[in-house]
Amino acid sequence: MNRFSLALPLALSLSLAACGRQEPVSDLPSSEELANAANAAAAEALQNVSRDETEAQENRNYVNTARGYSITLPEGWVRDASASNQDGVVSEDAGAGADIRVFWSKNEGDKDLQEIVAGMTQGSEAVDGDFVGDNEYRGTANDGEGNSVAVRLIRKPDGSLITATFVFPEMLSEQYLAIGQKTLDSLRVFNAPAAAEPTTATNASGA
């Protein structure tokens, strides 16, 4: 028998077998179903991104209700839970050796801001700053160890103090000066509840 006459029935048999294994067209998802599934997946992805952004923003916003102040910490920095307490928070960019410290203090002796600044800057180098009215001071200095320090002090109506210091290596001033300025600008004070007892501040845990 000619080999071509054998090949034809064999090819036909394989073709029929393959056709028998195919799923009916009616079992495949329609274009509308595919579109709905894609839209649902996209909506879920957007929701997850939104949730992550919200959580990140909440972690950056430090609010100390008992002490009456709030501040927005730099993005991506990590809070130092061991150095933070009921009076304030420490957040750092450990890899660069930079940190922000914001704390409330009672201001024993009810000192005025001029006295406090004089004591605070003693021993520092290249001190430069200005008083903003009677109850706020903003300045910069060098700690003598190669670090630049930006500071903002606010004396509250009850005489207590909010002190925010932003410390970073002097050689990284170009990158960190703007971050420090923005962070200190975000510091806000408000009246704490009269009967509030010192408690752990909102979002006080490490990131």
pLDDT in tens, 137-192: 999 998 889 999 999 999 999 999 999 999 999 999 999 999 999 999 999 999 88
Three-state secondary structure call for residue 94: coil
Q: Is residue 125 part of a domain?
A: yes
The domain total for the chain is 2
- If asked whether residues 33 and 82 sit together in one domain, one would say no
pLDDT digits (tens, 9 = 90+) for 34-68: 777 777 777 776 665 545 444 445 579 999 999 99
Residue 66: DSSP 8-state: T
Of 199, 95, 99, which is closest to residue 148 (Cα–Cα)? 99
**54-59 contact pairs (CB < 8 A, 24+):** 58/203, 59/203, 59/207
State the residue range of the domain holding 158: 65-189
Residue linked to tokens 């930079």: 98
Q: Is residue 200 part of a domain?
A: no
- If asked whether residues 69 and 145 sit together in one domain, one would say yes
pTM: 0.67
Q: Is residue 100 part of a domain?
A: yes
- If asked whether residues 47 and 114 sit together in one domain, one would say no
- If asked whether residues 72 and 120 sit together in one domain, one would say yes
Q: Is residue 197 part of a domain?
A: no
